[in-house]
Structure 1
Amino acid sequence: MATTIQKRVGVSGTGMISRCFVRLIMQHYPELRISRVLTRRKVDALSDFPLPGALTNSIDELVEHSDLIVECSGDVFFGTSVIERAFEAGLPVVTVNAELQVTTGSCLAGKGLLTEAEGDQPGSLAALHEDAVQMGFKPLVYGNMKGYLDHNPTREDMAYWSKRQGISIEQTTSFTDGTKVQIEQVVVGNGFGATISRPGLEGLASTDLNRSANVLGLIAEAAGQPIVDYVIPSGYPAGGVFLVCRHDEVQAPALEYFKLGPGPYYVLTRPFHLCSLEVGKTVRRVLAGGGVLLNNSTRPTLGVAAIAKRAMKPGETIVRGIGGFDVRGEAVRLVEEPDHVPIGLLRHTVLKRALEPGQMITFDDIEVQPSRVLDIILRQRQSIIRPRPALRVSGYARAAVR
């Protein structure tokens, strides 16, 4: 009897998502084998990892022993390096890293197979989109359900919830201040050619999803194209995703019989997203030749700008953008805000000019440090928005985009 050859899956990252994913594959995917797990920590400090023998600090070793890479480090800079190396070796990449997708993903998507995984909200919306289109629905709104929003939470509150939920304070903060939902919805918008109704999205407070969906459906039709947005539910569970759709008028009686209401707007919901437990579905999809589920597209129209949370003075340092206490992210149209600083670029960034709370940060406001991520952002801007010869960055960065 022929022996089934297991496909080798390499993983980048050793946080909660990685640990849960590795356990899932080991227990429930006999056709797959976790070959290597890349970490920046000391290997001997991770003895509690589910598969300690697979740990490595070498990107080359990860790539050499894998048929596919799952990138879930949560880090834009490190993740970009991993993906570029994987593409040099001809490997496909599945990410659970929407932060990377919205920052460097459009450039990377032109170099190899890059897809967001089902499980996090963007991938769940993409899966719901596929189902809806196959049933003849025309999506008008790609919606996210958010449980809580505070644009400027305190460090003490975030430390408390971080410990209670068992995730990092950076993740907790990006979820709470709205940065994460802005990033997720921008990736969905770019992937499916949708737009936004206004910077920062509508973010409707909602006690009835159908009523909120009707409002968003009207906004989308006024815009003349699909939109991405989110609601903050009260009185019904949060945490899932939804679509607002139209369908053929001739199907209206059947759809009402199927309990979707009289129309013209129909709401399709997916009331859960199980993160790491669903990533395996996308891995199987890619290995079977199913192609991309969702990425930021090679021609995005939306970005996530950094917005100051507090007053800051020249010379102050923004230690981190996503998940920090200095800035939050807000969805913008690229053509309207060509000078905005993508929030995913900010790390240990020094201010050149004073900022006020609520102010959008531009490249003139910061001292730009050379990095591969900056190189990619400048390339993307040249090809997507317009050439920017006046952008004042270091000579290194100017040379990188020539």
Structure 2
Amino acid sequence: MSYSQRLLERERATGRPVRVGVVGAGQMGSGLVAQINRVPGLFMSAVADIDVTRAERALAGAGCAQVTSTDDLTAAAAAIEAGGSVAVNSGLALTRLPVDVIVEVSGVPDVAAEVAYASLLAGKDTLLMTVEADVTVGLLLAAMANAGGAIYSVCRGDEPVECLKLIEYAQDIGLEVVVVGKGKNNPMRPTDTPDDVTEEALAKGMNPKMLCSFTDGTKTQVEMCALSNATGYPLDVPGMHGVPCSIDELATMLVPAADGGIVTHDGPVVEYVTGNVAPGVFVIAKSTNDVVTHELDYLHLGSGPYYSLYRPYHLASIEANLSIGEAVVDRRPSFQPTTWTSEVIAVAKSDLKAGLRIEGIGGHHVYGFAVPAEDARSQGALPVGLAAGCVLTRDIAAGETLGYADVVLDESRPIVAMRRLQDAMLANGALGGGRVG
């Protein structure tokens, strides 16, 4: 039975739909708000954005007829209880309103981490589309949720989650996963700044910093790091190979070196490729039974024993609501870290001078690069999700990794406090789940 049917059954049983709150009303958030309100059994009860007029527009675009814009949480709660929708200017406000699920779509790691933490403390199911927060403090958030009654998850529709669904499918039909990953549909130019992509961003209706986070490679490194931490699968090499590869070449290139491919690890790894694989995701799986191999060859899946299971798309906000169904109906997350296998560290895009206040992801100063978590820990490397607002204490050369010792961190930032706690709990074994850095 589909989630839509089961959500409708829940609505009939409880007398109301699932009330959803969304934090962030930019391009992705507005699309999500519109999509949620089209799903039977879900209702868009609240949208928060620092620019409350964007929240109002997102609700109007979703067809919400009764919209109240207010800073008075008592009035906002009453409007929601009466079946209306509210627009507010604070994501934290949603944690004190009568919504069942909060979906964070701000794209800002600091905001996402703080809202997720507060939401889980309030006992609300909490879903992230800001994967940058997950690769910074996601193991702590998952532990909080799993110790209580709430759900913490990264949303369906993003490549890491759809990769995990392909892994589950491959395993369910008895195949051995060798490589899992995504196609990258932007060039890889690590030294790009927002200035370099402004014209392209404006033509696409995007924020230049967001586009820069794609072209400088940070977004891909973050996504595959999240996948690594959810599965425990390591990177084959730091930063991954990122080779040009067509769909037809996946099952011959992304296989062990002993069989003519590029993979050096013994066991499954995460990877990305450039070429016509984007915007899809893939699993390279091996058949270990001659009879099954013969059947798969006969069924034109390829020429074994290695096969590519390929999904040619990911639909971002359009399918993110599937995670609401999984959380509310099945009481399970679509995707969350179970290990701390990989880390995305901050690397200088150019020569940086002492005293500089660092811009965050997609800015002028640093890009993200994925490495084994144990290497990042031993080097004292700075996670890219903490970089925004740090002040350099020494000159950093282009291409050099930033370390904790090289910056002054604002310890009042909730994401910094959360990361300190996560690191301490990892160090003393209080956060389990396989590999840790």
Give the partner amino acid of 2:126. V
**Structure 1 counterpart of 2:173:** 135
Shift of 1:210: 4.1
Aligned mates of 1:386, 1:62 — CA distance in 2: 31
Q: Distance in 2 between matches of 1:286 and 1:309?
A: 39
What's the counterpart of residue 125 of structure 2? 92
**Of the candidates 25, 31, 37, which is equivalent to residue 26 of structure 1?**
37
Mapped partners of 2:118, 2:421: distance in 1: 18
| Alignment-derived partner of residue 230 in structure 1 | 272
What whole-Å deviation, never above 9, does each CA across 1:53-73 have from its counterpart, x for those lacking one? 421134244542211111111
Q: In the alignment, which residue of structure 1 is the partner of 2:416?
A: 374
Q: 2:94·2:102 contact (CA, 8 Å) conserved in 1?
A: no
Tell me the residue number matched to 1:184.
Answer: 223
Matched, 1:125 2:163: yes
Work out which of the residue numbers 344, 363, 367 in structure 2 matches 1:304: 344
Alpha-carbon shift at residue 268 of structure 1 (Å): 0.6
When residues 214 and 380 of structure 1 are mapped into structure 2, their CA distance, relative to the original with a 3 A threshold, is farther
CA distance in 2 between counterparts of 1:331 and 1:287 reads 33
Per-residue displacement from partner, 1:69-124 (whole Å, max 9, x unpaired)? Answer: 11111111111111111111211112111111001111111001211111111121
Residue in 2 that maps onto 1:50: 59
What is the CA deviation profile of residues 121-157 of structure 1, one whole-angstrom value per residue up to 9, with x for unaligned ones?
A: 1121122222222222222111110122211125433
What do residues 291-345 of structure 1 show as CA deviations (whole Å, max 9, x unaligned)?
1221122x3111000011101111122122x111211000011111211100010
CA distance 1:357–1:386, shift in 2 (3 Å): farther
Correspondence for 1:285 among 326, 332, 339: 326
Answer yes or no: is the 8 Å Cα contact 1:202–1:230 preserved in 2. Answer: yes
| Residue type at the aligned position of 1:105 | G
Question: What amino acid does structure 1 have at the position aligned with 2:16?
Answer: I
Cα distance in 1 for partners of 2:176, 2:263 equals: 12
Partner of 1:40: 50
**Which residue of the partner structure matches residue 200 of structure 2?**
161
What fraction of aligned residue pairs are identical, expressed as a percent?
28
Match of 2:23 among 12, 16, 20: 12
Aligned residue number for residue 393 of structure 1 = none
SS of the residue 1:335 aligns to: helix
TM-score by length of 1: 0.89
Q: Secondary structure at the match of 1:305?
A: strand
> How far apart, in 2, do the equivalents of 1:77 and 1:69 lie?
16
* Structure 2: distance between partners of 1:45 and 1:25: 17
Q: In 1, Cα distance between the equivalents of 2:367 and 2:254?
A: 24
**In the alignment, which residue of structure 1 is the partner of 2:402?**
361
Paired with 1:157 and 1:70, the residues of 2 have a C-alpha distance of 32
Pick closer, same or farther for the CA change 1:22–1:56 going to 2, 3 Å.
Answer: same
What are structure 1's unaligned runs of at least 5 residues?
Answer: 388-402
Offset at residue 198 of structure 1 (A): 1.5
Q: Aligned equivalents of 2:427 and 2:243: distance in 1?
A: 30
**Is the 8 Å Cα contact of residues 140 and 227 (structure 1) preserved in structure 2?**
yes
Q: What is the RMSD of the two structures over their aligned residues, measured on CA atoms? A: 2.1
Q: Structure 2: which amino acid aligns with 1:346?
A: A
The 2-side partners of 1:354 and 1:210 are apart by 46
Are the equivalent residues in 2 in contact too, given 1:10–1:65 (CA < 8 A)?
Answer: no
Q: Where does structure 2 lack aligned partners over 5 or more consecutive residues?
A: 1-8, 61-66, 69-85, 146-150, 430-437
Between 1:155-164 and 1:73-82, the stretch displaced more is 155-164
CA contact (8 A) 1:36 1:62 kept: no
TM-score after normalising by structure 2:
0.82
Letter in 2 for 1:201: M
Is the 2:193–2:212 contact (alpha carbons within 8 Å) kept by the matching residues of 1?
no
Q: 2:94 & 2:242 partners in 1: Cα distance? A: 44
| Cα 1:44/1:73, change in 2 over 3 Å | closer
Aligned pair 1:265/2:306, yes or no?
yes
Q: CA deviation at 1:162?
A: 1.3
1:242 counterpart = 2:242: no
Deviations 1:185-227 (A, max 9, x none): 0000110110011111110112x33434433321586412211
Counterpart among 182, 186, 199 of residue 144 in structure 1: 182
Q: Which amino acid aligns with 1:282?
A: S
d(CA) in 1 for partners of 2:304, 2:101: 43
2 CA distance for matches of 1:34 and 1:342?
34
Q: Tell me which of 368, 382, 405 is aligned to 1:329.
A: 368
* Segments ≥4 residues shifted beyond 4 Å: 1-4, 44-47
CA distance in 2, matches of 1:153, 1:269: 30
Question: What is the aligned counterpart of 1:211 among 239, 249, 256?
Answer: 249
- CA displacement, residues 235-271 of structure 1 (integer Å, 9 cap, x when unaligned): x352111111112323001100121222121101111
Question: 1:374 deviation in Å?
Answer: 1.4
C-alpha separation in 2, matches of 1:313 and 1:10: 42
CA contact (8 A) 1:104 1:373 kept: yes
Structure-2 separation of matches of 1:111 and 1:138:
32
1:154 and 1:323 map into 2 onto residues whose CA distance is: 7
SS at match of 1:64: coil
- The 8 Å contact of residues 351 and 396 in structure 2, kept in 1 or not, is answered as yes
